Structure 1
Amino acid sequence: MPPSNNAAVLPHAKSHPLQIHPALYPSAGPDQVIIKVSALAINPADHMVQSMGDDLFPSTYPYILGNDVAGTVVEVGSSVTAFKPGDRALALTIGSTPGEGGFQEYVCVKTNVVARIPDEVSFAQAAVLPLGFATAASGLYVPGYLELELPTVAAAEPMGKTVLIWAGASSVGSNAIQLARASGYDVFTTCSPRNFEYCTTLGAERVFDYRSPTVVEDLVAAFKGRTCAGGFAIFPGSEECVIDVMAEIEGEKVVVCAMAVAAEKKAREDVRVKEMFGGSLRTSELAGYLYHEFLPEALRTGKFRCVPEPLVVGHGLGSIQGAVDRLKEGGISAQKVVVTL
């Protein structure tokens, strides 16, 4: 008989607070694993879906939110050979069925977005990675976006090109800086001055104050004599500044936008603009390499860090609504809200 399962459920559109209810124990398909969740992280999409409901996108209710989990593999599907029960793992939980939402005790996940984590990485630390890592990797590597060279754990050959990452202290930005450096690219990024050192420790060569009235001019001047590999605009509205920079420098004049709406309409004759979905990596052949080969070894060797740092705000499913509200309030910088189970 399977274990009992419980979930923090959105019973209907725009409902608040989340309701704690028994949930069906998920069934693993051939290429899936079931993970007993020990920690989960909160993302802006969680409070956006809760507050906007079908105004954001049509959903089927009851709905289980949650994209970032870490825990222990307890079951594997019939075709799975890369994982076994007892493996410590992190996973990207984006699905259209209740069994695939992260805000529950047991979750079912496709193995291409599951990565083993070393013993020295806590579940709370690991939970900050999945969606930020996937979004960053989608923008940097998936065909149709920036299409950079893939990252390696060994020292990468210098590409001689520079990537502009707007919002380097964000979850996506923190992952994007590390990935771009592991691919051999130099990185320019933006953030608030209090996070300059943080972004530098992740590998950014130059860091700029995004609120400076001369930030575009400063970036254009910094790119003089360099070849650009493209720009990554992570927050809504930032794409305009990145486009302005791309229009004035040498190299790939393409901007990938992670959270922008109708950003492609802002493209210019000499600057291409691409909108992307953070879960694009799930359907890419690159996912297996990034989650199964690069990330586990990079974590083990210290090549890749679990950042932003986890801000653990509670324990148990009953703490999730407060965590979602805490993120929605704002004021969190270079941290990611986490709940342990």
Structure 2
Amino acid sequence: MAPTEQKALLLEKKFGDLVLNTSWPVPKPKKDEVLVKIQSAALNPCDWKIQKYGILVTNFPAILGSDIAGDVVEVGEGVSNFAVGDRVFFQGLYFQNETPGFQQYATADVFTLAKIPDNVTYEEASSIPVGFTAAYVGLYNSTPGKGLGYDVPITPEAKGKYAGVPLIVLGGSSSVGQYGIQLGKLSGFSPIITTSSLKHAEFLRSLGATHVLDRNAPLTAETIKSITDLPVQVILDGISTVETQKVGFDLLGSGGGIATVLQPEPDLEERAPNENKRFAWVMGDKVLPHNVQLLRDVYAQFTELLEKGDIKPNRVEVIPGGLNGVVEGLTRLRENNISGVKLVVRPQETN
């Protein structure tokens, strides 16, 4: 039985500090929901950006943290496919304080909830939702401007469908980049070319990259032509700075598309129609209408994808101190003092 109160890290006001509350109410699961005791929560750049820039969140106090893994401790009305004791992972929502990860208990809807197989830890599972969702929506959402619209690789007909179609993943060692490489492999894209610090090259090749290029070296059309003569039609930009967007846009062939995790640069977006190129600005929120069914379908198969090794979680680094470690972790993310791993905390270890 879950307690009635818990420890939660609160953003008390816009631009405010993150403060630990030791008597925050534990939510009750509603219809088609479960209550999860959070064993691991991952940190994302969006968490510090909300605090620093005052974006996305309008109601305070607010709880942040979108990547969550833990144990089902209570089920709501109508829940039949999950039971108390199941190890699960899911994406929390910033605007619903019952669901985010920087607390010890949260509720999750059963439609975008997946069981963690035995070959995956809580910490690894908590690295999945946000990064995977961004890559998945970017490549497979068919809504114009929201994704590139390729067929999802979770059906037998579409698995391996895009053999011979090159894929470029900018920022391969980022969370989004790692999942983009693996999804590209499932879809059959080849070659799969990525940019990264070369210290991650072997790891990224193990995920499915065929070519790992130094992120500090110029990425030109000549570089790509030395790998493939085929026109570049598909780019996933897991970094999406002004520089990476420009590089990606210039590499695209006519009719190609680039998916970015930040807003497309206005001048490039303006040029795109005249050059027969397209942008997809990825919004990885599971409740957006254009994402709902796409994500429900993949969550229904997620356990098997992980079990078979088709999708491998990010490598993780555990920050000690439970929720008290979040501030340090967000500082490291903000200062770009992290490479190739996902930072996670264990809320149950909070003193």
For residues 149-204 of structure 1, the C-alpha deviation after alignment (integer angstroms, 9 at most, x for no partner) is 22249793342212221111100000111112112222221112222222111101
User: Residue type of the partner of 1:205?
Assistant: T
Matches within 5 A, 1:121-270: 121-144=120-143, 145-152=147-154, 156-160=159-163, 161-186=165-190, 187-224=192-229, 226=230, 228-235=232-239, 236-237=241-242, 238-246=244-252, 249=253, 252-263=255-266, 264-265=269-270, 267-269=272-274, 270=276
Q: Offset of 1:45 from its aligned partner? A: 0.5
Q: 1:288 aligns with which of 278, 290, 296?
A: 296
Residues 1:277 and 2:283 aligned together:
yes
**Alignment length (residue pairs):** 333
SS in structure 2 at match of 1:285: helix
Q: Is the aligned partner of 1:332 residue 2:338? A: yes
Match of 1:62 in 2: 61
The ranges of structure 1 where at least 4 consecutive aligned residues each deviate by more than 6 angstroms after the TM superposition are none
* CA offsets 1:25-65 (integer angstroms, 9 cap, x no match): 11222222221100111000111111112xx2352100100
Q: In the superposition, relative to structure 1, how do residues 14 and 297 fare at CA in structure 2: closer, same or farther (>3 Å)?
A: same
Give the corresponding residue for 2:25. 24
Residues 200, 80 of structure 1: alpha-carbon distance in 2 compared, 3 angstrom cutoff: same
Q: Secondary structure, in 3 states, of the residue corresponding to 1:35?
A: strand
Paired amino acid for 1:292: A
Deviation at 1:317, TM superposition (A): 1.9
- Long gaps (5+) in structure 1: none
Classify the secondary structure of the residue corresponding to 2:326. Answer: helix
How far did residue 79 of structure 1 move? 2.8
- TM-superposed deviation, 1:261: 4.9
SS at structure 2 position matched to 1:175: helix
Taking the aligned partners of 2:106 and 2:38, their CA distance within structure 1 comes to 7
Compute the TM-score of the two structures, normalised by the length of structure 2: 0.88
What secondary structure does 1:38 align onto? Answer: strand
Query: Aligned in 2, Cα 1:12/1:46: closer, same or farther, shift over 3 Å?
Result: same
Secondary structure of the residue aligned to 2:23 is: strand
Amino acid of the structure 2 residue aligned with 1:148: Y
Please say which of residues 78-87 and 145-154 is displaced more in the overlay: 145-154
**Cα separation, 1, equivalents of 2:69 and 2:233:** 33
Render the CA deviation track for 1:229-279: whole Å, top value 9, x for unaligned. Answer: 421122222111111000xx36x4111111235453452412111212122
Work out whether residues 234 and 257 of structure 2, in 8 Å CA contact, stay in contact via their aligned partners in 1: yes
Amino acid at match of 1:327: L
Contact persistence 1:10–1:19 (CA under 8 A)? no
Q: Does 1:79 align with 2:82?
A: no
One-letter amino acid of the counterpart of residue 150, structure 1: V
Task: Return the TM-score normalized by structure 1.
Answer: 0.90
1:131 maps to a residue whose letter is: V
Cα RMSD (Å):
2.2
- How far apart, in 2, do the equivalents of 1:227 and 1:168 lie? 20
Q: Distance in 1 between matches of 2:234 and 2:40?
A: 34
Match of 1:318 among 304, 324, 334: 324
2:286/2:295 contact within 8 Å kept = no
* Bigger mean CA deviation after superposition, 122-131 or 93-102: 93-102
Give the whole-Å Cα distance in 1 for the aligned partners of 2:225 and 2:251.
6
Matches of 1:304 and 1:184, distance apart in 2: 14
Which runs of 5 or more residues in structure 2 are unaligned?
Answer: none
The aligned counterpart of 1:33 is 34
Amino acid at match of 1:18: V
How far has the Cα of 1:76 moved from its partner?
Answer: 2.3
**In 1, Cα distance between the equivalents of 2:65 and 2:173?**
21
Counterpart Cα distance in 2 of 1:172 and 1:296: 19
Q: Which moved more, 1:26-35 or 1:62-71?
A: 26-35
The letter for the 1-side match of 2:214 is D
State the SS of the aligned residue for 2:83. coil
